[in-house]
Amino acid sequence: MDMPVYLFTGFLEGGKTKFIQETMEDKRFNSGEKILMLVCENGVEQYDVSRFASGNVDIVNIKDESELSTSNFVKWEREHKPEKVVIEYNGMWLVDSLYEKIPDNWLIYQEMCFLQEATFMPYNANMRQLMFDKLKGAELVVLNRASKKVDKEAVHKIVRAASKRAQIAYEYTDGTVEYDDIKDPLPYDINADVIEIKDEDYAEFYRDFNEESDKYIGKTLKFKAICLNEANMPDNIFLAGRHIMTCCEADIEFYPLVCLSDDKSGIKSRDWRMITGKLVKEKNKMFKGKGPVLHVQSVSVTTPPKPELATFY
């Protein structure tokens, strides 16, 4: 049976504990079913279990990340027999590590990130990998104790570099809450006869393409890319894309499109080319089933972009 998991991430003083306390006091969430709370961080705020809407809650305090093993998750589920799980996660631990260790039947129903507005920019500058890790999976990012002078454009840009779907909320010191309503238009015209992707827009294009590839099917694309043409590839297939840094140097990866060409004899790996082609969804040996394949219409020699590495900002 699937186990719903409600995951709360962020750094100390971000407001996780306060929000979870209020959630556990709400009968709409805590209506009497058995709940297991895994608390991985102890800050200034402490839980007042006497105010929980139901007393049918077990709390396990996690002091060290090594305790978060698949075997322990299975053991806690067997011992406590919860119907849902709440996790207050330690801000200094990578969420990816948690994803890897939770049992297959533990499904993240909701993930929310709580941050203090005053420390958001410094933490992003000095702990970018940890910040990105918390933002990328969040459905809602809450900036607590926010100033009315907060630079929303800067915050929006940082969050959007990690996630397109996350809502952003500002909880001001006077208790009012405001949601980010900044629009995110694509930096190119998706309805153009030929969608021309500028060098600086490749990262944004690939993220949108990866999340909503179907809307690009039937479209003609033009972009600059580095090619990968290996001997073990099918005769008429090569890859063309860019290396993208989503967070830091440790996560740089090659993000290509599968290209179909009648003649790829002049294309070698690490060649930079300007490529134009029409995207079609079809069966291909590069996929297990159907996938997006660029039917190449033209290829021309070009110079590498500056910088060669694609980034979001």
pLDDT in tens, 208-227: 999 899 999 999 999 999 99
* Mean pLDDT (whole number) for 105-111: 95
pLDDT at 287: 87
* Mean pLDDT (whole number) for 35-54: 91
Secondary structure letter of residue 249 according to DSSP? G
**pLDDT at residue 65 is higher than 80:** yes
**pLDDT at residue 131 is higher than 90:** yes
| Residue percentage of the chain with pLDDT more than 70 | 99
C-alpha to C-alpha distance for 186 and 243, rounded to whole angstroms:
20
Lowest mean pLDDT, pick from 55-59, 85-89, 152-156, 247-251 = 247-251
Q: Is 87 helix (H, G, I), strand (E, B) or coil?
A: strand
* Mean pLDDT (whole number) for 223-234: 94
Distance of CA 146 to the CA centre of its chain: 23
Structure token pair of residue 173:
């010191």
**pLDDT at residue 249 is higher than 80:** no
Confidence of residue 289 (pLDDT cuts 50, 70, 90): confident
Confidence of residue 38 (pLDDT cuts 50, 70, 90): very high
The string over 217-230, giving b where at least 16 C-beta atoms fall within 10 Å of a residue's C-beta and e elsewhere, is eebbbbbbbbbbbe
C-alpha to C-alpha distance for 213 and 99, rounded to whole angstroms:
25
H/E element, 243: strand 237-245
pLDDT at 161: 86
Secondary structure letter of residue 304 according to DSSP? P
**pLDDT at residue 43 is higher than 80:** no
**pLDDT at residue 1 is higher than 90:** no
Q: Closest by alpha carbon to 312, among 208, 233, 235? A: 208
pLDDT at 288: 82
Confidence of residue 164 (pLDDT cuts 50, 70, 90): confident
Q: What pTM, to 2 d.p., does this model score?
A: 0.71
pLDDT at 185: 86
**pLDDT at residue 312 is higher than 90:** no
* Mean pLDDT (whole number) for 256-285: 94
* Mean pLDDT (whole number) for 121-139: 94
Lowest mean pLDDT, pick from 20-29, 51-60, 285-294 = 285-294
Name the amino acid, one letter, at 252. Answer: I
Dump pLDDT digits (tens) for 86-105. 999 999 999 999 999 999 99
Beta bridge partners of 13: none
Dump pLDDT digits (tens) for 169-220. 999 999 999 999 998 889 999 999 999 999 999 999 999 999 899 999 999 9
Lowest mean pLDDT, pick from 147-151, 249-253, 273-277 = 249-253
C-alpha to C-alpha distance for 309 and 287, rounded to whole angstroms:
26
**pLDDT at residue 266 is higher than 90:** no
